[in-house]
Amino acid sequence: MSPFKGQTGLKRILNAAGYSFDGLRAAFTGEAAFRQLVLLNVILIPLSFLLNVSRVERALLIAVCLLALIVELLNSAVEAAIDRISLDRHPLSKNAKDMGSAAQFVALSMITIVWAVILI
């Protein structure tokens, strides 16, 4: 059992929330791509409330925007872990980083497609 897993109940939830906010802060201060996606969300999410769409469509418009943030957080985590292991160029490190980038490309493509399908 990990010594880092000792907390239970409310204390564990509070610790987890703190770690989550630390991660969001680290992403916002250290990752330009994350800040750009936050800006995109600040524009698109309020815009979704101004559009004449159903609640389900609005939920989809918002969900794909938030999904891109999630993917960027995971992509940044993969990149940080790879860089922590070694800054040397290695084919497996390149593959891991490229796959994270590809995941973000798919998420951004999904925003474009979902918004286009709903609005057109």
Reported as a single tens digit per residue, the pLDDT across 7-26 is 778 888 999 999 999 999 99
The tens digit of pLDDT for each residue in 57-79 reads 999 999 999 999 999 999 999 99
Residue 97 assigned to a binding site: yes
C-alpha to C-alpha distance for 82 and 77, rounded to whole angstroms: 9
Per-domain boundaries in the chain = 55-119
C-alpha to C-alpha distance for 79 and 3, rounded to whole angstroms: 26
Assess whether pLDDT exceeds 80 at residue 3.
no
Residue 31 assigned to a binding site: yes
* Catalytic residue flag (residue 57): no
Residue 35 assigned to a binding site: no
CATH architecture of 55-119: Orthogonal Bundle (1.10)
The one-character DSSP state at 3 is G
Active-site entry in 34, 64, 68, 72: 72
Residue 101 assigned to a binding site: yes
Mark 81-96 as b/e (b = at least 16 C-beta within 10 Å). Answer: ebeeeeeeeeeebeeb
The tens digit of pLDDT for each residue in 85-95 reads 999 999 999 99
